[in-house]
Amino acid sequence: MSNKASHQVIFMPSGRRGRVEEGESLLDAAQQMGVEIESICGGKLKCGKCKIRIEDGEFQKHKITSSADHVTPPSKEEVELLKKMGEHDYRLSCHAFVQNDALVYVPEEARAHKQVIRKSANERVIEIDPAIRQVYVEVEKAELGKHHGDWGRLQDALKKEWNLDNLSIDLPALQNLQANIRKGKWAVTVTLWHKEVIDVQPGYKEGIFGLAVDVGSTTVAAYLCDLRSGKILASESTMNPQVIYGEDLMSRVSYATSNIDGLEKMHAAIIKTINQLAKKAARQVDLRARNIHEAVFVGNTTMTHILLGIDPVELGSAPFALANRDSYDLKARDLGLKFHPSANVHVLASQAGHVGADNVGALLAETPYEQKQVTLLVDIGTNAEIVLGNQDWMFSASSPTGPAFEGAQITFGMRAAPGAIERVRIDPETLVGKFSVIGEEKWSDDWQTDADASLDQQPAHLASGICGSGIIEAVAEMFLHNIILASGRFNPDLTHELIQWEDGKGAYVLASAQQSATGNPILVTQDDVRNIQLGKAALYAGAKLLMSHAEVQSVDRILLAGAFGSFIDTKYAMILGLIPNCDLDQVVAVGNAAGDGARIALLNKDKRVEAQRIAHWVKYIETAIDPKFQDEFVTAIHIPHAVDIFPQLKNILPEKSAPKSNKADPKIRRRKVQKT
Amino acid sequence: MSNKASHQVIFMPSGRRGRVEEGESLLDAAQQMGVEIESICGGKLKCGKCKIRIEDGEFQKHKITSSADHVTPPSKEEVELLKKMGEHDYRLSCHAFVQNDALVYVPEEARAHKQVIRKSANERVIEIDPAIRQVYVEVEKAELGKHHGDWGRLQDALKKEWNLDNLSIDLPALQNLQANIRKGKWAVTVTLWHKEVIDVQPGYKEGIFGLAVDVGSTTVAAYLCDLRSGKILASESTMNPQVIYGEDLMSRVSYATSNIDGLEKMHAAIIKTINQLAKKAARQVDLRARNIHEAVFVGNTTMTHILLGIDPVELGSAPFALANRDSYDLKARDLGLKFHPSANVHVLASQAGHVGADNVGALLAETPYEQKQVTLLVDIGTNAEIVLGNQDWMFSASSPTGPAFEGAQITFGMRAAPGAIERVRIDPETLVGKFSVIGEEKWSDDWQTDADASLDQQPAHLASGICGSGIIEAVAEMFLHNIILASGRFNPDLTHELIQWEDGKGAYVLASAQQSATGNPILVTQDDVRNIQLGKAALYAGAKLLMSHAEVQSVDRILLAGAFGSFIDTKYAMILGLIPNCDLDQVVAVGNAAGDGARIALLNKDKRVEAQRIAHWVKYIETAIDPKFQDEFVTAIHIPHAVDIFPQLKNILPEKSAPKSNKADPKIRRRKVQKT
C-alpha cells in the first residue's frame, strides 16, 4: 500500500471517474480507468496527441476556480510543444501530474480509436483498430561490455515503454535496424503488424497508411487510407487488364487451363495493375507506394485465386472447390507487390466456390446479419452474388448473369466511362430516344452538334457506347413503348425509321451518327435484348431460389451493390424484373460495398475475424444443381413478368402506349441528310 | 467407462507396461504409454515404419507359446507390405490389435527419434527431433454442397489423423495444393515446419532433407543431412568467395562501408556459393537443392550479418554492436537461396560482437557447459574464438589472430588443399627440411622428381605452398634447430646455403625448385615468422585473459576446433606457445565443431533453444579494451615462452641442437645444379 494521497479524477465526456495517486500522470490515470487517450510517443513530448483540457466548475460539491490547482504546472518543453501546436487551452496528459481532484475534458481528436462513418444504406460507425500500429521509443545506447544487440535493445525498450513482448522482426527491418537507430540518435518510430516489427524509422515519425483493393473481374479499385484517422486519402480505379484473356470469369478460368503460361500472365497483369494503382494513389497525396504498410484485398473467388497465383481450374467445374476458403495473410513482396518491403496483405475469407471475398466484404459493410429486417443484397458483376437473410439466418448464391450488365456482350456496350450512355428515355409519340452520357449533364435533346454551335452548347462528350445502366433503361423503355414485346422480340407489327431489320432481327437506333463519337449510329440490337433478358432472368431466379429456401414470400429491403447497382434506376430494374417485389423506397444502391468492406477490414482487425465467422455461417446454395433455379430461370426470361407482379409500378410508369406516328423526328432526319 | 476387456502389454526393450483395451492397436497402445514408434502414414499401410515383433516367453508368470494368441492375425494387405519389405518375423503395430496379454519388441529402426553419434572429444548422442516433420494423410473428397476448400479439408485431415491444429500454409504450398491433392487421388504427404505447412506432395512420399552450413571467412562447408536418420548424405566445401573483397574480417567490414555496393556484392557472392554447394551436395545423392526443406547456418558475426544482408559496419569499431544476438528464422527465398520454395533458414544465436553463431555451434557440439572439467575450446580462423569454462561458469573472448594460421598473409601460404605443405621436419644435422603435402602420402625425402623416375615413384602433387599446420610446424622446427631465435628473428650467427638474406631479413628454403609445382623454391620468410608470432600471441593472450577472469591457473582439457585445429600437431602448437599448459593427451582436435553444431541444431529443434540459452549465459570478455590482454600479448610474442613454461615438452621433443654442419645436403645441391 502506498502512503501517497489520492485524488478524485473525472474524465469527460465519458464521465469515468476514479481515485488517482498524487503525482501520477493523467495519461496513466486514463489508461487505468479504461479511458483511451491517443499517444504515439509514450510521454516523450514528441507527438502532442494526448492533449486534454482541465475544466473548472462544480466538482464533488466544491467549486474549484483555478485549474492550476488540479495538476502540476507545465514544463517549459510542454509549453513550447503546445505553442507549436497552437493549443493554448490544452495540456498534455502525459505531463500533467495529479495534485488535487480534477475534471478533465478529452477532446475528440485525442480520443484513441476514432470513428469513421460510412454513408450508405446504414450509417456505419467503425472503430479504428488496424493490425498495424506505430510507436515511438528511445533505445538504450550500445556500449562496450553490453552484448545485447540492437534488436535486443529495441525489444527491451518496446517491453518497458509499451509492454509489447514476444515480438519478431522481419528481415528488411532488421537489415536497416542499426543504421536507423543511429540516424535517429537512439530514438525510433517502430511500425508493428500484430506482433511483428515491420519498420523502424529514425526519430519521431507520424503516419501509417494502408490500401484497400477490390479486384473485380472488370474493374480494379484501390483506396489509400490513413490508418490513424480512417480517412480515404485517394481512390484510383482502372480496368482489370485480364479482360484481354477473357471477358467473363469462365473464359479466364479456361485461359488459365488451356495455356501453359495462362495463370502466370493473368497473375502478372493484375499485380502490375495493382502496383500502378498504388503508385498513383500514393502520388495524389505526396506519398510513395512503399509508404503502404498493409493492404486488404477482396474479389470474387477466381480473382483472388489468380491474385495469389493459384490456378483457378477447380472453380471451372463441379464441385467448384476453392483452394482456400479462409482469410489469408502473406507478405506483399511474395506476390511482387511493391508496397513497403515488409508490408502484409490480408485477403478476406470467401464463402464458397462462387461467392468470394468481395461478397463477404459487402456483408461486412452492410451487416444484414445484424438486422431484423430481411435484406436481399445483390452485387451485380459478371456473376451476381446474392445474399438473403437477417440476424437469424442467411443464404447466399451466385447467379451466372453474364457480363451484359457491365456493358460487355452488348453490341455497342462499354464500361461506365465518359461518353457512355447511362440514362435513356423514349418519346412515346415519336419513339425518338433521348439519353445522357457520363461526363455531360445535358440530355441529348439539348445538344448542339452542328459545327457552327458555340463551344458551350456542344456536349463535353458525344456518345461512345452504352454502359450497364443505359442498356437496362433502353430495354425497359423499348418494352414500355412496344418496340419490343414481352418475349423480348422486336415488335414485328411496328414499322419505324428508327427500327432497322436485318436477317429477321430488329435493332433500335438510340443515338444518331451526329450524336455518336464514331460518326456511326448507336443501336440496341435483338441480341442485346436477349443478353439482358438472360442476365436478368438469372439474377431474378437466384433471388427467388434463396427466398424459397428461406421460405419467405417477400423481402423487406433490397441493397444493390457494385458500380452497376449504384447507377441503375431501381424503377427500371423492377420493370425488367431484375429483382423481386419490394417497396421501391426500400431498394437502395449502396455503391462499392465490397470495397467498403475491404476498407473496414483494413481499419479494424477484429472485423477480419467477424468476416470469416460470417463467411462460414452463411448457408451457400448451389444454383448450378438446383432444379428450382432452372424453373425460375425459364419463367423469368419474359419481360412483362415484372409489371404483372408489381402493380405499384403502374402508378409510377408512363402508361404503355402505341406510338401515334411512326415517322421519325424531322430533326433526326435532317441530321441523317447532313451525314450523307 | 468401457466394458471391454483389457490386457497387459509390455514393450521391449524399454520395459514399459500397461493395460490396454481389447481391440486397440499396438501403435495406439505404445503412444499412450509413451513408447515412441515411428509412423509416417498413420496406419494407412503405406510406410511400414511401425514394425514390431510379438515375443513368446515367460510373461506375467504364464508361459505363452503361440504369438497368434496375443494380437489379431494380419490382414492380406499387411502380409503383402511386410513381404515387400522382406520382413517375415514382424508385424505392423498399426494393424496388430490386442486380444490378449502381449510382450512386444520394438526394433531399433522402428523407434522414433533415432540417435546419431558424433565421434569427437565426447561421443555425443543426439535425439532426432527436427523442426520439420512429414505426415501422410487422406483428404476428404471435394463435393458439391461442401464449401470448405482444399486447405480446410487438409486441415481437418491433419487434425483428425495427427491431432495437428492451428496450422498455417505457406503461399507456394497453397499455390500447388489443389493439383497435388488430385494428383495423389486425395492422399498427400505433408511437410510441416513447426506449425506451418510448407509442402504438400501427391501420394505417399518419404524423405526429408536439411542442410547445415558453416560460413567461415575462408571456407564455406555444407552438410546435406537426412532429417529422419540424422546421417550426413553429402558434404561439400569451397573457398568463401568474399576473400576477393578482403582476406580478414576487418577488411570485409571496411569493404562494405567504403563501397556503396560492397555489402550487396559480398552478400550476392555468399548466396551464390551456398546455392552451388547445395546443388552439388544434392546431386551427390541424386537429389535437387529444392529437396532441402530446412537449413541451419552458423558463422562468425561478420559472416552472418553479410549473409542476412545486414551491413557489418557496427562490428568494425567499438562498441561492436550486433544487429541481432538471438537466433533468427526466415524464409530461404528471402535471401535468394534456391532450396525448396518454402524452406526455412535458422541462424544460430551469437554471443557478442565478435563471438558468433559458429562458436555457439561449437559449444553445442562439445557441451563443455555440461561438464565438471575446465575446458578451453579454441576455434582458430581469421579470428580465434576462445571459450573457457565448465558447468558452473563460462567465459568467452575473441582474439585477433589474423589469417596467418589459415595460410593467408604467409609469403607462400595457401589454404589446406592438395599440394599444400602440411607437415615439416628439419634435419638437425644438415638443416634440410623434409615435408609432406596434402594428397601425397610419401614425405618429400622419398620423392623422385627426376624426369626418368617411374610414375609411381613421382609424387601425386608437388608442393604448391604452405598451409596453416605446415607453417606452424615449419616455424617450430626452425626454432628448435636454432634457425630462428626466441625473438623470432633469423639467427644472424648462422650461415647456411638454405638461409637466404635480403635487406637484413632472413628466409629459409623449405622446398627446392624441383619439389615445387611452380619450379621456384618455397621459402619461410622473416615476415611469415612475425605473422605467426602475432597470431599465436593473440591466441595465447586471449586464453590467459579468460583464465585470469576465471581465476584458474590451468585447464583440464583443450579442444582445438576448425580445419586448422584438426590438422595441427598439438605438440608444435605447444612449442610455439599457441595454447596454455595442459597435458598433451588432453589436447584434442575436434574438427569442424561449428559445422557439427549446425548439424545438431538441424536435427533437433530443442538444441536451438539450448544454443540460445548458452549463448546468453556465457560471459563475454572484451579483449580490445582489457589492459591485461595487451600485457599478455606483449609477453607472448617471444617463442621460448612455451618451452620454458611446459617442462614436459622437453621429454617429447628432440633436444635443441646447433647444426653440426652448415653445408647443404648434397642431394639438394645436385638439384640446384640441375635447375641452373
B327-346 tens-digit pLDDT = 999 999 999 999 999 999 99
* Residue A649 scores a pLDDT above 60: no
The pLDDT tens digits of the residues spanning B491-508 come to 999 999 999 999 989 999
ipTM reported for the complex surpasses 0.90? no
Q: Do B616 and B138 contact (CB within 8 A), yes or no?
A: no
Rounded to a whole number of angstroms, the distance between the first and last alpha carbons of chain B is 100
Cell of B674: 640441375
Cross-chain residue pair B174–A319, CB shorter than 8 Å: no
- Predicted local distance difference test score (pLDDT) of residue A214: 95
* Residue A120 scores a pLDDT above 90: no
Across the beta sheet with B505-511, the strand order is: B499-502, B505-511, B522-525
Cross-chain residue pair B149–A321, CB shorter than 8 Å: yes
Cross-chain residue pair B150–A318, CB shorter than 8 Å: no
Helices (H), B299-396: 301-307, 357-366
Q: Looking at the partner chain, which of B310, B321, B625 has a beta carbon nearest the beta carbon of A142?
A: B321
Cell of A71: 495538476
- Predicted local distance difference test score (pLDDT) of residue A669: 35
Residue B33 one-letter amino acid: M
A547-568 average pLDDT score: 88
- Predicted local distance difference test score (pLDDT) of residue B675: 34
* Residue A553 scores a pLDDT above 70: yes
What residues in B contact A618, CB-CB < 8 Å? Answer: none
What residues in B contact A314, CB-CB < 8 Å? Answer: 142, 150, 178
* Residue B412 scores a pLDDT above 80: yes
A320-329 average pLDDT score: 96
Cross-chain residue pair A320–B352, CB shorter than 8 Å: no
Cross-chain residue pair B322–A149, CB shorter than 8 Å: yes
Residue-averaged pLDDT of chain A: 87
- Predicted local distance difference test score (pLDDT) of residue B649: 55
- Predicted local distance difference test score (pLDDT) of residue B112: 59
- For residue B266, give how far its alpha carbon lies from the nearest alpha carbon of chain A (Å): 15
Q: Taking CA A269 as the corner, what is the angle to CA A266 and CA A270, rounded to the nearest 5 degrees?
A: 90
**Residue B456: how many CB atoms within 10 A of its CB?**
7
A196-214 average pLDDT score: 96
Q: Coil, helix or strand for A136?
A: strand
Q: Cα dist. B142→A225, A399, A488, A639 in Å?
A: 39, 21, 40, 39
- Predicted local distance difference test score (pLDDT) of residue A581: 81
β-bridge mates for residue A568, sequence order: none
What residues in A contact B342, CB-CB < 8 Å? Answer: none
What residues in A contact B150, CB-CB < 8 Å? Answer: 314, 321-324
* Residue A659 scores a pLDDT above 50: no
B233-242 average pLDDT score: 92
What is the length of chain B? 676
**Chain A interface, best mutation among B178, B302, B618, B625, by max A CB count within 10 A:** B178
Q: Cis link prior to B13 (omega < 30° from 0)? A: yes
* Residue A8 scores a pLDDT above 50: yes
Q: Do B359 and B396 contact (CB within 8 A), yes or no?
A: yes
Q: At what angle do helices A171-183 and A150-162 cross, to 10 degrees?
A: 80
- Predicted local distance difference test score (pLDDT) of residue B39: 80
CA-nearest residue to A397 within chain B is B145
* Residue B515 scores a pLDDT above 60: yes
pTM: 0.83
CA-nearest residue to B312 within chain A is A178
* Residue A505 scores a pLDDT above 90: yes
B280-294 average pLDDT score: 97
A95-123 average pLDDT score: 71
Cross-chain residue pair A319–B178, CB shorter than 8 Å: no
What residues in A contact B620, CB-CB < 8 Å? Answer: 147
Helix (H) or strand (E) holding B395: strand B394-399
Burial class (CB in 10 A: 0-12, 13-18, 19+), A657: exposed
Compute the distance between CA of residue B661 and CA of residue B429 in angstroms, rounded to an integer. 6
B551's CB contacts (< 8 A; 6+ apart) are none
Compute the distance between CA of residue B594 and CA of residue B614 in angstroms, rounded to an integer. 14
Q: Looking at the partner chain, which of A147, A313, A622 has a beta carbon nearest the beta carbon of B352?
A: A147
**Chain A interface, best mutation among B188, B260, B324, by max A CB count within 10 A:** B324
What residues in A contact B324, CB-CB < 8 Å? Answer: 149-152, 169, 174, 177
* Residue A672 scores a pLDDT above 80: no
- Predicted local distance difference test score (pLDDT) of residue A544: 93
CA-nearest residue to A147 within chain B is B352
Alpha carbon B507 to chain centroid, angstroms: 37
Residue, of A62 and B662, whose pLDDT is higher: A62
Q: Do B92 and B119 contact (CB within 8 A), yes or no?
A: no
At A673, the pLDDT band (50, 70, 90 cuts) reads very low
Residue A496 one-letter amino acid: H
The pLDDT tens digits of the residues spanning A344-380 come to 999 999 999 889 999 999 999 999 999 999 999 998 8
**Can you list the pairs that A490-495 forms with residues at least 24 positions away whose Cβ atoms lie under 8 Å?**
A490/A526, A490/A529, A494/A659, A494/A662, A495/A662
B593's CB contacts (< 8 A; 6+ apart) are B120, B361, B362, B365, B366, B377, B379, B559, B561, B562
- Predicted local distance difference test score (pLDDT) of residue B665: 40
Compute the distance between CA of residue A608 and CA of residue A614 in angstroms, rounded to an integer. 10
Percentage of residues of chain A with pLDDT beyond 70: 91
- Counting one residue from A and one from B, how many pairs have CB atoms under 8 Å apart? 133
Q: Do A409 and A403 contact (CB within 8 A), yes or no?
A: yes
Compute the distance between CA of residue A620 and CA of residue A613 in angstroms, rounded to an integer. 14
Helix (H) or strand (E) holding B292: strand B292-299
- For residue A69, give how far its alpha carbon lies from the nearest alpha carbon of chain B (Å): 48
Compute the distance between CA of residue A200 and CA of residue A362 in angstroms, rounded to an integer. 35
Cross-chain residue pair B152–A318, CB shorter than 8 Å: no
A513-517, B274-278, B517-521, range with greatest mean pLDDT = B274-278
B639's CB contacts (< 8 A; 6+ apart) are B479, B484, B485, B486, B487, B488, B533, B575, B576, B577
